Amino acid sequence: MQWDATTPRVTHEPWWAWYDIVTKSNEIIERLPRATRMTEVVRAQVIGEAKFLRALSYFYLVRLWGDVPLVTTLEEQVGTPSRTPKEQVFAQILKDAQEAEAALPVSWPAAQKGRAPKAAAQALLAELHLWRSSAEQKNEWQLAADAAKRIIDAGTYRLEANYLNAFLPGSQNRAEEIFAAQATAVANGPQIRAADLFYPQELGANSAGGFASVVPLAWSYDSSYARGDYRRDVTYFTSGRTTAGALVTFPPHVYKYRPTTRPGPQDVNWPIYRYAEVLLFNAEALNELGRTAEAVTFLNQVRARARNGTGTENRPQPANYAGALTQDAVREAIFEERRIETVFETDRWFDIVRRGSAYFLNALRRDPFATDAEATDMLWPIPQREIDVNPNLIQNPGY
């Protein structure tokens, strides 16, 4: 919590990356209608993909920075745009996501796995309406439930019997993954390098081990799981062998993303939307609509999978929620389940932000390093190098 407008990894790199996707999406949306060597169906699908990716990019941008420049044409990208009010950005996200849902296919051929399917746009719509309902107080819970239910009712996706299988290489060919950043061991193919940041330094650097620059807090490993929760068993590891074969022990590190070989390429997909999260989207929306008992059934589906362990076990924990539970109790249970189920999937930050400043600051009290946290940290600083070239970008308060 000590970053500022000049911290590249926190400010400029993600800002640049999301706007790079926006630029490429704008090019496709604007120029592809003039393409003649493809069918109308294929053209509509590709434009639908571009609209989904533009909507996803702006969804990250507006949640991290608030008002951001909204550019949807190549002409608008020239010059020094000012920050667009976030309501206009949300309106564009909604429009793009709805049009993407209409255009995208239910599934792609096996050789094209990784492209955004219809459910990716539906998951984005569900999360968008959840965010606007909680963070923006817009009461769009029914819209969130409707979008999540469209995925559930389609029957295309399911939970993996083994939680870990949702993250192992090849998960892009399994039924839990809806949309993910792709990785492959194929030469010159895309790789997700996050595992290098997770792995212990004792195992060596890069693919042979890691930099240990992203590690769990002690409470996350020690006390935040029900005793015997399989997800804890497979998310962390505390010992391993060096490249020389020596067995070493170390504090808990993340082992949720495991490449096929180590040392070797990081061929592990990075999940953006998977079916377990859709079940929790639906549970949260139903609970806020007053349908608490129904919400618990979807929450318990996620917990039941965890009890299955490797897929054939019958563990006692995490037990189902049962009995007459209050709406407040179920709300907290859902957020705790999201934290455990999607740990290290870049969801937690957005969950604590959308609950408001009191929840945000209280959550950060568990982190002994977040001593300088303020409510203004809920928005990130506009990168200084962007302000230097565009004086119309006004910095967020507190930076």
The pLDDT-based confidence of 123 (bands split at 50, 70, 90) is: very high
Rounded Cα distance, 187 and 180, in Å: 20
- Measured CA to CA in angstroms, residue 59 lies from 63, 94, 189, 276 at distances of 6, 10, 27, 20
Percent of the chain exceeding pLDDT 90 equals: 75
Is residue 276 within 8 Å of residue 302, measured between CB atoms?
yes
Question: In this predicted structure, what is the pLDDT of residue 351?
Answer: 97
What's 319's DSSP letter? P
pLDDT for residue 208: 57
* SS3 at position 229: coil
Q: Find out whether 73 and 83 touch, Cβ atoms under 8 Å.
A: no
- Render pLDDT for 250-292 as a digit per residue (tens, 0 to 9): 999 999 988 887 767 788 899 999 999 999 999 999 999 999 9
Query: 145-169: per-residue pLDDT in tens?
Result: 999 999 999 999 999 999 999 999 8
pLDDT of residue 206: 58
Q: Which of 271-293 are b and which e, b meaning 16 or more Cβ less than 10 Å from the residue's Cβ?
A: bbbbbbbbbbbbbbbbbbbebbe
**Positive or negative CA dihedral for 249, 347, 321, 310?**
negative
- Cα–Cα distance, 60 to 46 (Å, whole number): 21
| Domains of the chain and any CATH numbers | 1-104+356-399 (1.25.40.890), 194-268 (no CATH)
Pick the residue with more confidence: 138 or 183? 138
Global pTM?
0.96
The two structure tokens encoding residue 258: 């495991």
Report pLDDT for 176.
96
Residue 205 banded pLDDT, cuts 50, 70, 90: low
Residue pLDDT, tens place only, 11-53? 889 999 999 999 999 999 999 998 888 999 999 999 999 999 9
Mean pLDDT of 6-11: 87
Q: Which amino acid is at 268?
A: V
Q: What mean pLDDT value characterizes the chain?
A: 93
| Contact in structure between 314 and 307 (CB atoms under 8 Å) | yes
Query: Burial code of 201-212, b = ≥16 C-beta within 10 A, e = fewer?
Result: ebbbeebebbeb
φ, ψ for residue 76 (rounded to 5)? -70, -20
Provide the pLDDT for residue 200. 87
Q: Give the mean model confidence (pLDDT) for residues 311-330.
A: 96
Share of the chain above pLDDT 70, in %: 98
User: Of 243-247, 322-326, 369-373, which one has max mean pLDDT?
Assistant: 322-326
Most distant CA pair in the chain, distance: 61
Are 298 and 279 within 8 A, CB to CB? yes
Q: How many CB atoms neighbour CB 365 within 10 A?
A: 10
The amino acid occupying position 45 is: Q
State the virtual CA torsion across 123, 182, 195, 267 in degrees, nearest 10: 140
Q: Where are the beta strands (DSSP E) in the chain?
A: 177-181, 236-241, 247-254, 270-274
> Residues with Cβ < 8 Å from 365, sequence gap 6 or more?
none
* Structure confidence at residue 2 as a pLDDT band (50, 70, 90): confident
Nearest residue to 337 via CA among 293, 287, 276: 276
CB atoms within 10 A of CB 29: 21
Degrees to nearest 5, angle at CA 280 with 274 and 286: 140
CA angle 375, 13, 342 (to 5 degrees): 65
